[in-house]
Amino acid sequence: MKKQPLLWGVIYLVMLLLTFTPLVLVTICLMMVPVVVMYVKLDWKRFALHHVLILLAVYVISFLLGLDFLGTVAAILFLFFLIPSLAIGVMYRKRATARAALTAGTVAMLVQLLLLLLILTVSGIHVIDELRDYMKNSLETLPAELQNLVTADQIEVALSLMTKLLPLYLIGFSLFYAIVTHWLARKALVRSGESIPGLKAAKDWMLPRSLIWYYLIALILSFIYVNPDESMIFMILLNIMPLMMFVFTIQAFGFLFFIAHHRGWSKGVPRFIAVIGILVLLFAPFLLQMVSLFGLFDVAFPIRERLKRPKG
């Protein structure tokens, strides 16, 4: 048991050292997991000591390898992921619900990203303008045949919409890290003997009924505010509607698992259907609204209660 925090410290050290390797896309997604595990397993003093030693080791190793900048990058990553990791770790120590842990991690990451954007803006770095320039330059690298398929006005409209979706990107980024971290950190902690609450079984997922009204209001307003240049309301709706469709799509998958449980299907059947469904939505996102309607109906009407009633 006492060796586990040391092992996770070594794993965290290796992940920081892999920042400038092809594995960075994997390690950067898992960066919060060792921090959460160590926070739950260690008291404050030992937790701080572990991280100081890890950063010192990174600086020493990067110096020996002639990569002095690696230590600075590692310190930046450490600070960036520390607060969201602590937010989840605090919930774990309190034995709060999995939803509370996910919410804490998501909100902490989102607030941190917003503060980062504010600091960059005050420093004279306008992220949205930089993002527009990056996307425009990327489009210019495409073959001439592809560039000729769309007009300059169409490209400008597309770039404008993509930059207005920045809040959605930030929320998605924050939620992704919270989910991945909770999933892996909880598994590691439970295997080590900790009692960490998990999410409800998929068949028991149920959104608050009040979300139906928010969704319907947003849907009605989306038909009214159709001009990207009309107002701030369009930008808000542009970000809210995909979120609403996403949560009701999750609800639809929950209803699928309920049906499978109610009918006595094998556990592999709904999982297989869910995986296929996710893949289809990734390649055909326009189907998201249709699938989300199943989740909407599940929340709006007592379908499950009717199915549970004995026949006859």
- Residue 149 domain flag: no
Q: Find, among 194, 205, 204, the residue nearest to 95 by Cα.
A: 194
**pLDDT per position as a tens digit, 71-87:** 788 888 888 899 999 99
Average pLDDT over residues 161-190: 89
Residue 292 is predicted with a pLDDT of 87
Q: Are residues 215 and 190 in the same domain?
A: no
The rounded distance, in Å, linking the Cα atoms of 34 and 32 is 6
pLDDT band per the 50, 70, 90 thresholds, residue 119: confident
State both tokens at 45.
């003093």
243 neighbors 289 (Cβ within 8 angstroms): no
Judge whether residue 105 has pLDDT over 90.
yes
Segment among 130-134, 140-144, 165-169 with least mean pLDDT: 140-144
Q: Are residues 95 and 29 in the same domain?
A: yes
Q: Are residues 238 and 301 in the same domain?
A: yes
- Residue 261 domain flag: yes
pLDDT band per the 50, 70, 90 thresholds, residue 228: low
Number of domains in the chain: 2
Residue 36 is predicted with a pLDDT of 94
Q: Are residues 220 and 100 in the same domain?
A: no
Share of the chain above pLDDT 70, in %: 91
Rounded to the nearest 5 degrees, what angle is found at the Cα of 116, between the Cα atoms of 115 and 118? 65
- Residue 128 domain flag: no
The rounded distance, in Å, linking the Cα atoms of 191 and 176 is 23
Q: Are residues 230 and 108 in the same domain?
A: no
Q: Are residues 190 and 211 in the same domain?
A: no
Q: Are residues 188 and 252 in the same domain?
A: no
Q: 158 versus 41: which is more confidently predicted?
A: 41
Judge whether residue 90 has pLDDT over 90.
yes
Q: Are residues 105 and 70 in the same domain?
A: yes
Residue 150 is predicted with a pLDDT of 67
CB neighbours of 29 closer than 8 A, spacing ≥ 6? 176, 177, 180
Identity at 222, one-letter amino acid code = S
The rounded distance, in Å, linking the Cα atoms of 186 and 36 is 9
Q: Are residues 256 and 112 in the same domain?
A: no
Share of the chain above pLDDT 90, in %: 17
* Mean pLDDT for all residues in the chain: 84
Q: Are residues 12 and 83 in the same domain?
A: yes
**pLDDT per position as a tens digit, 148-157:** 666 667 667 7
Average pLDDT over residues 28-50: 91
Residue 241 is predicted with a pLDDT of 86
Residue 107 is predicted with a pLDDT of 94
Identity at 263, one-letter amino acid code = R
Q: 92 versus 310: which is more confidently predicted?
A: 92
Residue 59 is predicted with a pLDDT of 84
Q: pTM score, two decimals?
A: 0.84
Q: Are residues 48 and 179 in the same domain?
A: yes
Residue 186 is predicted with a pLDDT of 93
Average pLDDT over residues 137-152: 69
Q: Are residues 186 and 285 in the same domain?
A: no
The rounded distance, in Å, linking the Cα atoms of 270 and 25 is 30
22 neighbors 30 (Cβ within 8 angstroms): no
Judge whether residue 229 has pLDDT over 60.
no
**What is the span of the domain harbouring residue 249?**
200-312
Residue 86 is predicted with a pLDDT of 94
Residue 176 is predicted with a pLDDT of 92
Q: 273 versus 311: which is more confidently predicted?
A: 273
- Residue 231 domain flag: yes
HEC readout, the chain: CCHHHHHHHHHHHHHHHHHHCCCHHHHCCCCHHHHHHHHHHCCHHHHHHHHHHHHHHHHHHHHHCCCHHHHHHHHHHHHHHHHHHHHHHHHHHCCCCHHHHHHHHHHHHHHHHHHHHHHHHHCCCCHHHHHHHHHHHHHHCCCHHHHCCCCHHHHHHHHHHHHHCHHHHHHHHHHHHHHHHHHHHHHHHHHCCCCCCCCCCHHHCCCCCHHHHHHHHHHHHHHHCCCCCCCHHHHHHHHHHHHHHHHHHHHHHHHHHHHHHHHCCCCHHHHHHHHHHHHHHHHCHHHHHHHHHHHHHHHHCCHHHHHHCCCC
**pLDDT per position as a tens digit, 230-287:** 567 778 888 888 888 888 999 998 898 888 888 888 888 888 888 888 888 878 777 8
- Residue 126 domain flag: no
